[in-house]
Chain A
Amino acid sequence: MRLSDTIAFALTNLSRQKLRSGLTAFGVVIGAGAIVLLISLGIGLERAILKQFEVNELLNMVTVLPAKVSFSLSSILSQSVGELNLKTLDDGVVEKLRAVDGVKTAYPDIASWADCRIDDQKSYSIVWGLPPEGISEGLLSYIVAGGFWKEESDFAVVPTNLLKRFKIDDPASALGKTLIFSNFTGFRPPGMRLRARPQDGESGGEPQKTHSCTIVGVFDSKQLGAFGDRILVPATLAKVVRTIGIPAMAGLSDPDVEGSYGSITVRVADPSQVDTVRKRIEDLGYGTFTSNDIAGTIGTIFLIIQAVLGCIGGVGMIVAFFGIVNTMVMAILERTREIGVLKSVGARDFDIWGIFVAEAGMIAFVGSIIGLGCAWGIGELLEIAARAYIVSHGGPADTNLFAITWHLALGVVGFSVIVGVLAGLYPAARAARLEPVTALRHD
């Protein structure tokens, strides 16, 4: 018997019991649909987050840390700072890094969390110090109003998303306004090491420290992805703000040691040489990380999330599996006599087996295709709702939270067919084993 005949025969049989075939397939629709919907959500979220790190400005950047740190998931979870052999990152190290082959420039990162105020509105942000060489062409192209400072003084370039929080819609209207930094009272990132001295806000008794500067420019925060949410100030001002707020990225060095930095940013002349240069820096005994590290870690985390979501969806598939087994056992009971007839006209055991396995596989195939369609439809509807929510909260309008990739679609259909075929194996074997004369006598 040819495969095409087996399939044609199976299709005829399925169409005889449309309601039962349909209900059985519906189980697969739910199982396959749930898997697709959940995994596509996992993929969509991963992409949305990874997009935040795929920024040109970050591609030639290597962040140098005081010690070698692995950014793989397992080491992040197990590493403790105390075990690390910390090196001091000071101006001497900056000079040394500048001399490394392939390095365009290097400058210390002076960053801190601080509260900030414009007029009577209050919020908080990371304040990031930029030396003149840190103002790259990329950054300049992200400016939407004003520009960077011409001299190192009390000036700031703010991101558009900060202005949104201050309800300033027109970036140009922010220019010239006074921005006042004060003690950080916002959230405390987990694991952040605090200064030994008591925080002014917490001890209550100490007076508030403040420092004001003038907004001279506004940049498009979206262009910097995950790094967009920061106020850029001259390095000199950043040092002052650090005495007010709490240091960001201070996990690895003691910011109280004068002249030592939490990290150093190295810009590589040729983005394709990032890994080579990074190797040279690591050979000097320093730790490094690039946006690729974050992307890699996020990828691993999401692989786990997708697997877990897939398993949750898989529960539906298990139920569908038994639905198919049940339907096939019933079908064979009903068609016992017919199996006898087929054998009497020369059907081999294998032909009979093939017909029933094909029927089970086809139920699953049709179910998975419909499930795929349903998941896509539901995903699109949820997408519309999610997008409206994101946009209303100042996020980008081009998110795609439910990403059904070809791999996912084909994988789910293939998986469903395998589940269907497996469900058909036992009933089909029973049908194939029937003695023709016994089957013919069956009513």
Chain B
Amino acid sequence: MVSILSVVNLHKRFLLGGVVVDALNGVSLQADEGAFVGIVGRSGSGKSTFLNLIGGLDKPTGGSIMVGDKDLALMSSEEKAEFRRRKVGFVFQSFNLIPSLTAIENVMLPLVFGGAPRGERKRRAEELLSSIGLAGRLGHRPGELSGGEQQRVAICRALAPDPPIILADEPTGNLDTRTAGDIMAIFREMNAKSGKTIFMVTHDMRTARETCTKVVELCDGRVVETGEGGCGKS
């Protein structure tokens, strides 16, 4: 198995109102290509901080994040933008769609920043939205879509530049149980059929155990348990 991400002794320290908070306190983790990594833990355990760091949205205060042969911790802001544009796709709990843009425009957004030709962007976005059952919603704005639909648009946006890694931060947290199941199915398919490596933060231990190939439990900024998931492929 080819290692896609290797995190060594990762630290993140915040200063919150004069109080030092160690959100991550020496986390080390290794993930292979095609893995489905579930990151679980109570709120405040450092799950989201970890996800933001490996996605290049935040800077660590110590340790290294090796993606291939490059250390994310040492990249310039320009290089990190490039990394986010090509290597990772984010899916957020609150969808984070741009309200003024239509579904298809939201999906095209990463391609716009990548400088892809107009025709190609449109074709790619249409293809993705159709494959996920939103062919009839291309021109709708987020406000006109249900929560499940919005999250599907957000997933298409994450997939648009065809990145090898998908980072999802509680993607079903704002959805009802049935819709949440649908969304999880999409993630499973992404992992199984398209071979995407997925890191998913969730507080639902049961889902994680059922879905993920690897489950990492964080507590107070440390890894307390690393185990195989239920439907392991390894």
Closest Cβ–Cβ distance, residue A341 to chain B (whole Å): 5
Whether A12 and B100, one on each chain, are in contact in the complex, defined by CB atoms closer than 8 angstroms, is yes
Bound CA span A436–B80, Å: 11
Whether B113 and A338, one on each chain, are in contact in the complex, defined by CB atoms closer than 8 angstroms, is no
Q: Encode B103-127 as 1/0 by CB contact (under 8 A) with A.
A: 0000001101111000000000000
Given contacts A1-B112, A5-B112, A16-B100, contact A347 B81 (CB under 8 A): yes
Is B86 positioned at the interface, with any CB of A under 8 Å from its CB? Answer: yes
Whether A346 and B84, one on each chain, are in contact in the complex, defined by CB atoms closer than 8 angstroms, is yes
Q: Encode A1-41 as 1/0 by CB contact (under 8 A) with B.
A: 11001000100110010000000000000000000000000
Given contacts A1-B112, A344-B90, contact A338 B57 (CB under 8 A): no
Is A422 positioned at the interface, with any CB of B under 8 Å from its CB? Answer: no
Q: Encode A333-365 as 1/0 by CB contact (under 8 A) with B.
A: 000011011111111110100000000000000
Is A435 positioned at the interface, with any CB of B under 8 Å from its CB? Answer: yes
Q: Which residue of A lies closest to B49 (CB)?
A: A437
Among B58, B96, B97, the one with the most A-chain Cβ atoms within 10 Å of its Cβ is B96
Q: Which residue of B lies closest to A5 (CB)?
A: B112
Given contacts A1-B115, A347-B113, contact A440 B100 (CB under 8 A): no
Q: Which one of B59, B77, B84 contacts A344 once the chains associate, using CB atoms below 8 Å?
A: B84
Whether B101 and A344, one on each chain, are in contact in the complex, defined by CB atoms closer than 8 angstroms, is no
Closest Cβ–Cβ distance, residue A352 to chain B (whole Å): 10
Whether A349 and B78, one on each chain, are in contact in the complex, defined by CB atoms closer than 8 angstroms, is yes
Interface hits, B57-88 → A, CB 8 Å: 57-59, 77-78, 81-82, 84-86
Is B229 positioned at the interface, with any CB of A under 8 Å from its CB? Answer: no
Whether B113 and A1, one on each chain, are in contact in the complex, defined by CB atoms closer than 8 angstroms, is yes
Q: Which one of A337, A340, A348, A440 contacts B113 once the chains associate, using CB atoms below 8 Å?
A: A348
Closest Cβ–Cβ distance, residue B17 to chain A (whole Å): 15
User: For chain B, which range describes its interface: under 10, 10 to 19, 20 to 34, or 35 or more residues?
Assistant: 20 to 34
Chain B residues with Cβ under 8 A from A2's Cβ?
112, 115
Closest Cβ–Cβ distance, residue A102 to chain B (whole Å): 68
Whether A343 and B100, one on each chain, are in contact in the complex, defined by CB atoms closer than 8 angstroms, is no
Chain A residues with Cβ under 8 A from B96's Cβ?
337, 340-341, 344, 440
Q: Which residue of B lies closest to A351 (CB)?
A: B113
Is B52 positioned at the interface, with any CB of A under 8 Å from its CB? Answer: yes
Q: Which one of B59, B81, B92, B115 contacts A343 once the chains associate, using CB atoms below 8 Å?
A: B81
Among A1, A345, A437, the one with the most B-chain Cβ atoms within 10 Å of its Cβ is A345
Closest Cβ–Cβ distance, residue A346 to chain B (whole Å): 3
Is B221 positioned at the interface, with any CB of A under 8 Å from its CB? Answer: no
Q: Which one of A5, A340, A341, A346 contacts B85 once the chains associate, using CB atoms below 8 Å?
A: A346
Among A5, A337, A340, the one with the most B-chain Cβ atoms within 10 Å of its Cβ is A5
Is B38 positioned at the interface, with any CB of A under 8 Å from its CB? Answer: no
Interface size on A, residues (CB 8 A): 24
Given contacts A1-B112, A1-B113, A1-B115, contact A346 B98 (CB under 8 A): no
Whether A436 and B85, one on each chain, are in contact in the complex, defined by CB atoms closer than 8 angstroms, is no
Chain A residues with Cβ under 8 A from B86's Cβ?
346
Whether A345 and B90, one on each chain, are in contact in the complex, defined by CB atoms closer than 8 angstroms, is yes
Chain A residues with Cβ under 8 A from B171's Cβ?
none
Interface hits, A88-145 → B, CB 8 Å: none
Whether B81 and A342, one on each chain, are in contact in the complex, defined by CB atoms closer than 8 angstroms, is no
Whether B58 and A345, one on each chain, are in contact in the complex, defined by CB atoms closer than 8 angstroms, is no
Bound CA span A337–B86, Å: 21
Among A1, A342, A349, A436, the one with the most B-chain Cβ atoms within 10 Å of its Cβ is A436
Chain B residues with Cβ under 8 A from A349's Cβ?
77-78, 81
Bound CA span A13–B112, Å: 16
Q: Which one of B55, B58, B92, B112 contacts A435 once the chains associate, using CB atoms below 8 Å?
A: B58
Closest Cβ–Cβ distance, residue A318 to chain B (whole Å): 31
Closest Cβ–Cβ distance, residue B201 to chain A (whole Å): 14
Chain A residues with Cβ under 8 A from B110's Cβ?
345-346
Q: Which residue of A lies closest to B97 (CB)?
A: A341
Bound CA span A5–B122, Å: 14
Q: Which residue of A lies closest to B161 (CB)?
A: A346
Closest Cβ–Cβ distance, residue B93 to chain A (whole Å): 11
Bound CA span A2–B112, Å: 8
Chain A residues with Cβ under 8 A from B115's Cβ?
1-2
Whether B55 and A346, one on each chain, are in contact in the complex, defined by CB atoms closer than 8 angstroms, is no
Q: Which residue of B lies closest to A432 (CB)?
A: B77
Whether A344 and B112, one on each chain, are in contact in the complex, defined by CB atoms closer than 8 angstroms, is no
Chain A residues with Cβ under 8 A from B161's Cβ?
346
Q: Which residue of B lies closest to A8 (CB)?
A: B112
Q: Which residue of A lies closest to B121 (CB)?
A: A5
Chain A residues with Cβ under 8 A from B101's Cβ?
12
Chain B residues with Cβ under 8 A from A347's Cβ?
81, 113
Bound CA span A347–B114, Å: 8
Is B152 positioned at the interface, with any CB of A under 8 Å from its CB? Answer: no
Chain A residues with Cβ under 8 A from B77's Cβ?
348-349
Q: Which residue of B lies closest to A439 (CB)?
A: B57
Q: Which residue of A lies closest to B114 (CB)?
A: A346
Chain A residues with Cβ under 8 A from B59's Cβ?
435
Q: Which residue of A lies closest to B101 (CB)?
A: A12
Q: Which one of A337, A341, A344, A348 contacts B55 once the chains associate, using CB atoms below 8 Å?
A: A344
Enumerate 18 A-B pairs (CB-CB under 8 Å) in ascending A order.
A1-B112, A341-B96, A342-B98, A343-B84, A344-B57, A344-B84, A344-B96, A345-B84, A345-B113, A346-B84, A346-B85, A346-B113, A347-B113, A348-B78, A349-B81, A435-B59, A436-B57, A437-B58
Closest 4 CB pairs of A and B: A346-B85, A437-B58, A348-B81, A345-B110
Residue positions of B touching A, CB distance < 8 A: 52, 55, 57-59, 77-78, 81-82, 84-86, 90, 92, 96-98, 100-101, 109-110, 112-115, 157, 161
| Extra contacts besides A13-B100, A342-B109, A345-B157 (12): CB < 8 Å | A1-B113, A338-B98, A342-B98, A344-B55, A344-B90, A345-B109, A346-B82, A348-B78, A348-B81, A348-B113, A437-B52, A440-B92
